[in-house]
Structure 1
Amino acid sequence: MDVESDFSDVEKYFEDGKWEVQKAMIDVGDAGVKDAEENGTFQDHTLNLRTSNEFDVDEDGLTLQNTAEYASYVEAKGFEVLSGAALRAEKKLKEMFK
């Protein structure tokens, strides 16, 4: 006796789930960049530091970064450039995917 099964919809199910996770990370990344821009505790005379916040989503996850060479220096001086927003984004993702 042979039993035939059709699993053609399984691949679409996993692809849909993968897209939902990527979309959530994109939304959180975008919100994180906006959060950093709005809540940075430094004076940005040139607007370069505030507009250098960006995010990337790939199969490894979400990466938030500031591409200004001196961003880490400003954070080391005690000002918030991106670190607080990154921690809040991480917390939000953990809550979403619990």
Structure 2
Amino acid sequence: MKPVKRVEFIIDSLMVETLLESLSEINITSYTVIREAYGSGERGVRGGDIFSGAFDNSYVLIACTEDESKQIIETVRPVLKNLGGMCLVSDAQWVLH
């Protein structure tokens, strides 16, 4: 196994492309996006708007090195400040196969 940092975002689905553009500027090109995430938080219940997607959230997952995680946080902090959302960083183990 290989130690990595797990960087997770929950953001408004309409803002995923803005987040991904910010990540591409620092050469982060490996990620997973899961659309239509729903839950409850500071803005109340979010998700499940089948007509417009206006209140849907998306989940973005990145596995990276510690240095990359620091760079990601520095880059996306202003984006999150404007867009809202949540970012979590934790230690993880990448299973090599």
Q: TM-score, normalised by structure 1?
A: 0.40
Q: Who wins on radius of gyration, i.e. which is larger? A: 1
Which protein has the bigger helix share?
1
Which protein has the bigger strand share?
2
Q: TM-score, normalised by structure 2?
A: 0.40
